[in-house]
C-alpha cells in the first residue's frame, strides 16, 4: 500500500467538493464546501495509520475528507460509542475545518503517536480504555484549547509532564487507572478552571502540591489508591464546590482538617487509612446532602453528631475501625434512606434502638461496647 495515500485523495476531495458547490451551491450548507485544515488532516491520518485503525465507512473519512459526514453533524455526539473511533470538527469560524474532538476507546495497543499533539484545536480528547503504553509527551502542553482530557484505563507510564499545567482551559482531567510514577507536578495548580480530576490508581505518589490551593472550582475528585503522603491539606476545605471527594487507600498521616466543615455540597465523601493522627467528626455536621460517607480506619475519636438524623439522603455510612465513642444516635436507625450502616470496631455504647428503618439491610455494629440484640424489622 502506498504510504503517501493522503495528499492526493484530499486534493481530489476538495476539488470535487468545490465543483459540487459551484454547481449545486444553492442546495448545500456552506460548511459542506469547507475542508479540514491540511496539517490537521495529515496529523489525524498519521495517528490512525500508526494505530492501525480507520473510520467507520459512511460515518466520516480518513483517506478522504476527515471533517465530513457525522464529524460535522452537531447532533452526533463525540462520546457515542456507535461512532468509535470518532472525531468532531468545527467549521464555523474559519476558512477551514478544525478537528476539535477525538475519541478512541478500546481499540488501540501501543504508544500515543507524537503527531497527535499537532491537533492543536482539540478541546476534547478521550482515549479511555485502550492499552496505551509509553509516556505522556510534554507536547500535550501545546493543546491549549483542551477542556476535556481523558486518558484513563491505559498502561501509560513515566512521570506526568509539567506542561500539563499549560492547559489552563481544562475542565476535566482523567488519568485514573494508569501506570504513571513520580509526584504530581505543582504546575497542575495552574488549572484553575478544573472541575473534575481523576488520579485514582494512577501510580502517582507524594504530597498534594501546595499550588492545589488554587483549584477552588473542583467539583469531583477521585484520588484513591495513589501513594499520596503527608497531611491532607487544610486548603481542601476551600474547595467549596466539591460534591465528591475520594481519598481512600493513600498514605496520609495526621487528621482530617476541620476546614472540611466548609464542604457543605458534598454528596459522596470517602477517606480512609490515615495513620499517625487523630481526627474528629464534628466537621460533618453541616454536610446534610451526603449520600455516601465512608471514614474508615482514621483513628477518629469523637462521637457521632447528634444531628445525623437530619441527613435525609444518606444511604451508606461506614465509620468502622476508629475509636468513636458515645451513643449511636437512635435517629440514625430511623433514616428511611439508609441501607448500609457499618460502625464495627469502635467504642460505641448503648442503647441499641427499639426500631429500625426497613431500608437498612446491611448492619455491622460488632466489636463495640454495645449490649443487647437488634430489634426485629418492622413488617
Ligand X SMILES: *[C@@H]1O[C@H](CO)[C@@H](O)[C@H](O)[C@H]1NC(C)=O
Residue 61: exposed, middle, or buried by beta-carbon count in 10 A (0-12, 13-18, 19+)? buried
Report the C-alpha dihedral over residues 248, 250, 254, 256, rounded to 10 degrees. Answer: -20
Task: Note whether 137 binds ligand X by CB under 6 A.
Answer: no
Rg of the chain (C-alpha set):
26
- Give the shortest CB-378-to-ligand X separation in angstroms: 37
- By CB under 6 A, is residue 181 in contact with ligand X? yes
Residues 54-73 that bind ligand X (CB under 6 A): 58-61, 64-65, 68-69
Please report whether residue 225 would count as binding ligand X according to CB under 6 A: no
Scan for cell 490508581, then name that residue.
201
Exposed/middle/buried for residue 81 (C-beta within 10 Å: 0-12, 13-18, 19+)? exposed
| Min CB(4)–ligand X separation in Å | 12
Among 50, 56, 162, 220, binds ligand X (CB under 6 A): 162
Least gap, CB of 373 to ligand X (angstroms) = 30
Binding status of residue 118 toward ligand X by CB under 6 A: yes
Interface with ligand X, residue 152, by CB under 6 A = no
Label residue 354 exposed, middle or buried (CB < 10 Å: 0-12, 13-18, 19+).
Answer: exposed
> With respect to ligand X, which residue has the nearer C-beta, 257 or 309?
257
Q: Which is nearer to ligand X, 166 or 224 (CB)?
A: 166
24: left (phi over 0), alpha (psi -120 to 50) or beta: alpha
Does position 43 interact with ligand X (CB under 6 A)? The reply is yes
Q: What are phi and psi of 269, to 5 degrees?
A: -130, 120
Q: For residue 101, state whether it binds ligand X (rule: CB under 6 A).
A: no
Name residue, grid cell 436507625. 333
Q: Which of residues 250-279 bind ligand X (CB under 6 A)?
A: 276-278
Contact between 235 and ligand X by CB under 6 A: the answer reads: yes
Binders of ligand X in range 293-352 (CB under 6 A): 299, 301
Q: Report whether 262 contacts 285 (CB < 8 A).
A: no
Q: Using CA atoms, how far apart are residues 9 and 375, in angstroms rounded to an integer?
A: 77
Extract the C-alpha cell encoding 79.
462520546
42 binds ligand X (CB under 6 A): yes
C-alpha closest to that of 249 among 265, 228, 280? 228
Stretch of residues binding ligand X (CB under 6 A), selected from 36-44, 308-316, 351-359, 361-369: 36-44
Residue span 184-223 as binding mask against ligand X, x where in contact by CB under 6 A, dash where not: ---x-------------------------x----------
The residues of the shown chain that bind ligand X, judged by CB under 6 A, are: 9, 13, 39, 42-43, 46, 58-61, 64-65, 68-69, 115, 118, 141, 155, 157, 162-163, 165-166, 179, 181, 187, 213, 234-235, 238, 276-278, 299, 301
Amino acid at each position: 500500500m502506498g504510504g503517501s495515500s493522503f495528499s492526493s485523495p484530499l486534493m481530489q476531495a476538495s476539488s470535487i467538493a468545490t465543483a459540487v458547490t459551484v454547481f449545486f451551491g444553492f442546495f448545500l450548507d456552506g460548511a459542506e464546501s469547507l475542508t479540514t485544515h491540511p496539517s490537521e488532516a495529515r496529523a489525524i491520518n498519521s495517528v490512525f495509520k500508526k494505530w492501525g485503525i480507520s473510520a467507520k465507512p459512511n460515518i466520516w473519512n480518513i483517506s478522504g475528507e476527515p471533517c465530513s459526514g457525522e464529524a460535522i453533524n452537531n447532533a452526533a455526539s463525540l462520546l457515542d460509542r456507535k461512532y468509535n473511533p470518532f472525531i468532531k470538527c468545527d467549521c464555523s469560524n474559519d476558512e477551514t475545518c478544525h478537528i476539535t474532538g477525538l475519541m478512541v476507546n478500546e481499540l488501540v495497543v501501543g504508544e500515543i503517536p507524537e503527531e497527535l499533539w499537532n491537533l492543536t484545536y482539540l478541546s476534547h480528547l478521550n482515549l479511555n480504555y485502550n492499552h496505551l503504553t509509553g509516556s505522556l509527551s510534554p507536547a500535550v502542553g501545546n493543546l491549549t484549547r483542551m477542556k476535556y482530557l481523558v486518558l484513563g484505563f491505559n498502561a501509560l507510564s513515566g512521570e506526568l509532564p509539567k506542561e500539563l499545567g499549560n492547559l489552563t482551559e481544562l475542565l476535566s482531567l482523567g488519568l485514573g487507572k494508569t501506570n504513571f510514577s513520580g509526584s504530581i507536578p505543582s504546575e497542575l495548580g495552574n488549572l484553575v478552571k478544573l472541575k473534575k480530576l481523576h488520579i485514582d490508581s494512577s501510580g502517582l505518589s507524594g504530597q498534594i502540591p501546595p499550588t492545589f490551593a488554587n483549584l477552588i472550582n473542583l467539583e469531583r475528585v477521585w484520588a484513591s489508591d495513589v501513594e499520596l503522603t503527608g497531611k491532607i491539606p487544610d486548603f481542601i476545605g476551600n474547595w467549596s464546590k466539591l460534591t465528591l471527594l475520594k481519598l481512600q487507600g493513600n498514605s496520609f498521616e495526621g487528621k482530617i482538617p476541620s476546614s472540611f466543615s466548609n464542604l457543605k455540597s458534598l454528596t459522596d465523601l470517602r477517606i480512609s487509612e490515615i495513620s499517625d493522627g487523630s481526627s474528629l467528626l464534628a466537621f460533618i455536621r453541616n454536610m446534610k446532602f451526603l449520600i455516601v460517607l465512608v471514614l474508615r480506619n482514621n483513628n477518629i475519636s469523637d462521637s457521632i453528631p447528634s444531628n445525623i438524623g437530619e441527613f435525609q439522603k444518606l444511604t451508606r455510612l461506614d465509620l468502622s475501625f476508629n475509636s468513636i465513642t458515645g451513643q449511636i444516635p437512635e435517629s440514625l436507625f430511623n433514616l428511611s434512606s439508609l441501607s448500609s450502616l457499618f460502625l464495627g470496631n469502635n467504642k460505641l455504647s448503648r442503647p441499641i434502638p427499639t426500631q429500625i428503618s426497613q431500608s437498612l439491610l446491611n448492619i455491622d455494629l460488632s466489636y463495640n461496647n454495645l449490649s443487647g440484640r437488634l430489634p426485629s424489622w418492622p413488617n
